[in-house]
């Protein structure tokens, strides 16, 4: 089992600079968790004792409003660390579930911290991961100012096409299984409003939407649309 987990760890770029001793140390106190789409890894206010890194698939971090409405904060991809924030020894402040069928590796927090102390490259990667999440939050805060929902949606699709896009002959395909409900959760809006805005963007010939896949036909024009320039 340890050898199998060690091979999994070595697949992750997060740990490419670690020496064999530290890889072995991490592997001895780590484990794999397989989750089906929509299955929870941890919930807000849980006492989480492990650091999780995505081996395969994608995971969603989200909060729930007082009315129980889901608000998507991040979609994290394979190779990304999920919850470095637990180093503050506080309960989880966010919910985490599988965006699609996924596998994550869990590391004992104390062991992970020990290896960080011995390897500054790993510490830098954790800091960069935290910085990336903070920048995403800054962008989301910017989007909380009053702005038309169609422009918010266009901005979100532009970003998703940048982060998860596949170049096609007729545009950039967002390589995510995205329902209208999920997009509404990402934007903190209603399904009806987002559906209407999707129709507006299709009428403008900026996107195509079929079988929960979105094709951005021209990223530059989409950018002009939401920036209003």
Tell me, what's the pLDDT at 142? 61
Local confidence band at 143 (pLDDT 50, 70, 90 cut-offs): low
DSSP 66: T
* Domain boundary pick from 94, 110, 142: 142
| Domain's final residue, options 142, 160, 188 | 142
Please tell me which residue, 30 or 134, carries the higher pLDDT value: 30
- Name 53's Cβ contacts closer than 8 Å, sequence gap at least 6: 12, 14, 79, 80, 81, 82, 104, 105, 107
Out of 142, 177, 195, pick the residue that ends a domain.
142
**Residue 92, domain CATH:** 2.60.120.10
Is 34 found in the same domain as 127? yes
CA distances from 51 to 60, 149, 164, 199 (A): 15, 36, 24, 41
The number of domains in the chain is: 2
* CATH classification at residue 183: 1.10.10.10
**pTM confidence score:** 0.75
- Confidence tier at 146 by pLDDT (50, 70, 90): low
The per-residue DSSP string of 153-165 comes to HHHHHHHHHHHHE
Separation between Cα atoms, residue 142 and residue 124, nearest integer Å: 27
| Confidence band, pLDDT 50/70/90 cuts, at residue 155 | very high
pLDDT at 139 over 80: no
- Looking at the chain, the whole-number percentage of residues with pLDDT higher than 90 is 60
pLDDT at 127: 92
| Res 140 pLDDT > 70 | no
Look at the block and give the residue holding tokens 């020496």: 19
Q: Where in the sequence is the domain holding 91, given as residue range(s)?
A: 2-142
Span 41-99, pLDDT tens digits: 999 999 999 999 999 999 999 988 777 778 888 899 999 999 988 777 788 889 999 99
């Amino acid at each position: 089992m340890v050898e199998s987990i060690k091979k999994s760890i070595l697949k992750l770029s997060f740990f490419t600079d670690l020496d064999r001793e530290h890889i072995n140390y991490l592997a001895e106190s780590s484990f794999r968790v397989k989750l089906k789409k929509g299955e929870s890894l941890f919930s807000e206010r849980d006492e989480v004792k492990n650091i999780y890194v995505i081996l395969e698939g994608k995971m969603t971090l989200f909060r729930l409003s007082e009315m129980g409405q889901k608000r998507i904060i991040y979609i994290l991809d394979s190779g990304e660390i999920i919850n470095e924030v637990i180093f503050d020894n506080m309960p989880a402040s966010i919910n985490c579930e599988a965006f699609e069928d996924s596998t994550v590796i869990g590391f004992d927090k104390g062991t992970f911290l020990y290896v960080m102390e011995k390897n500054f490259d790993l510490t830098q990667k954790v800091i960069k991961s935290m910085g990336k999440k903070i920048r995403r939050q800054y962008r989301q805060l910017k989007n909380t100012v009053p702005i038309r929902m169609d422009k918010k949606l266009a901005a979100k699709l532009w970003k998703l096409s940048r982060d998860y896009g596949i170049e096609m002959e007729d545009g950039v395909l967002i390589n995510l299984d995205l329902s209208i409900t999920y997009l509404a959760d990402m934007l903190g809006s209603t399904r009806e409003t987002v559906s209407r805005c999707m129709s507006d963007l299709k009428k403008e010939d900026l996107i195509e939407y079929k079988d929960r896949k979105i094709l951005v036909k021209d990223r530059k024009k989409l950018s002009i649309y939401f920036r209003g320039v």
